Amino acid sequence: MRNLTVLFTLTGLLATAPAQAQTVNWDAYKGTTLRVLLNQHPWTTAVQPYFPEFEKLTGIKLAVETYPEAQFRQKVLVELSTGGQNLDAFMLSPGQEGLLYARSGWVEDMKPYTVNKTLTAGNWGFSDFYPSVVRSTEYNGIMTGIPIQTETPMLFYRKDLLAKYKIAVPKTLTQLEAAAKALNGKDGVAGIALRGKGASATSQFSPYMFSYGSSWLTRDGQANFTDPKFIQAMNMYTGLLRNYGPPAAVTMSWPEVTNLFAQGKVAMFTDASLFRSIVDDPKSSTVAGKVGYAPFPAGPAGRKPYVTTWALSISKGSKNKQAAWLFTQWATNRENQLRVLLQDVPAVRRSVWNDPTFKKQETSPEWTQAHLSQLASANPLWNPPVSQVGEVRDALGQAIVSILQGGNTADLLKRAEQTVNTIISKEK
């Protein structure tokens, strides 16, 4: 039996926690097979080639299945709702399914694992994770997963166009609207692109809502869509698209938005920071090298970005929970976080952003600054905090589509609010 103390090359982390050197018996579950379900996500692409290292370290075999996102979500839901005995570890988007899974008792609470001195290496360094990202995994007092990747909203803009027409980088939503108006039609581009395709638009609307000082729900847990500030935010979001966006906005989710920008047909867009890997890659973008990045513009209530994360979770029904924790711990160690960051997947550990290897290849310091500057104050509620997130997003998304097609904002949001309150009432 091997007793291995994991000695990651922690330039910054070890300096802050030199006394932590717990020994972990990594091959305690040798011979176990873990069934792991993963989303086809950039994180998966970045880290999966290194899975044989874990198998060699532990003697645990990984039976990994990956699926496109919609299929992945459905498969995990079905397996967990039927007991989850055959599922060990899986990716989870806490903002989408965290509350449902926590309320249903389908996932392990990860907090006890992080402080278990028998199972957790001392220099794994949980304090290295961004606190706001960790908080985004917690629902009903349960830490539903260990974060593996994170995103914040960001303004992407064409540096060449703003310079040509002497437009300052927008710092507020009012300035964003003015810039979109000024750039719309110049050099054949639309002023701005945003998601307008039903439910997909709701998450990217959230920082507009927060920055106008509103929220998804009232204090008593009812939908808050008729709040005047919510309506103002919606008018800003849909007005940008209606007045200065490309045609057929109601068909646009993130693939369409990023593709239009990458093809040089849009001057600006706001969306998740993760998309730098698409719009600034010479292999996929005609505007690579011309892309600027800025924090999400401030509204009347200030700058209020969201934070999203994917996490690794353990099925409550798993018969191999301790082995699954070893996998989770290994997959989220500093070495693997650096590996994913080097492939443009935003990491959740603070120390890797200062690693010399990353600094050497960093090509967009302004992107790094824009992303990191928002994490401390970011709101984890990029989705409404309800169990039936999908149904609520569909109801609000339908209102967004109808508003973009010319409907009355207040009337449509009132109707959506009534629908959502009916959904919420069934959860109680």
| 219-231 pLDDT per residue, tens | 999 999 999 999 9
CA distance 26 to 249: 52
Torsion of CA 194, 200, 201, 207, to 10 degrees: -100
Residue 116: both structure tokens together: 């278990």
Do 274 and 299 form a contact (C-beta atoms < 8 A)? no
CB atoms within 10 A of CB 22: 15
In this model, does residue 340 exceed pLDDT 60?
A: yes
| Residue-level length of the chain | 428
Query: How many CB atoms neighbour CB 126 within 10 A?
Result: 17
| Among the listed residues 101, 205, 203, 191, the one whose alpha carbon sits nearest the alpha carbon of residue 143 | 101
Strand (E) or helix (H) holding 301:
none
State how far the Cα of 428 lies from the Cα of 424, in Å rounded to an integer. Answer: 7
216-263: pLDDT as tens digits? 999 999 999 999 999 999 999 999 999 999 999 999 999 999 999 999
* 18 pLDDT more than 80: no
Cβ atoms of 252 and 197 within 8 Å: the answer is yes
Both tokens of 51, joined, read 């899975």
* pLDDT attached to residue 22: 66
Question: Model pTM greater than 0.75?
Answer: yes
Q: Name the residue with higher pLDDT: 338 or 276.
A: 338
Distance, in Å, from the CA atom of 223 to the CA atom of 209, rounded to the nearest integer, reads: 13
How far is it, in rounded angstroms, from Cα 131 to Cα 22? 23
The pLDDT tens digits of the residues spanning 110-119 come to: 999 999 999 9
Q: How far is residue 296's CA from residue 308's CA, in Å, rounded to a whole number?
A: 14
Residue with structure tokens 């018996």? 25
SS3 for 60-81 is: CEEEEEEECHHHHHHHHHHHHH
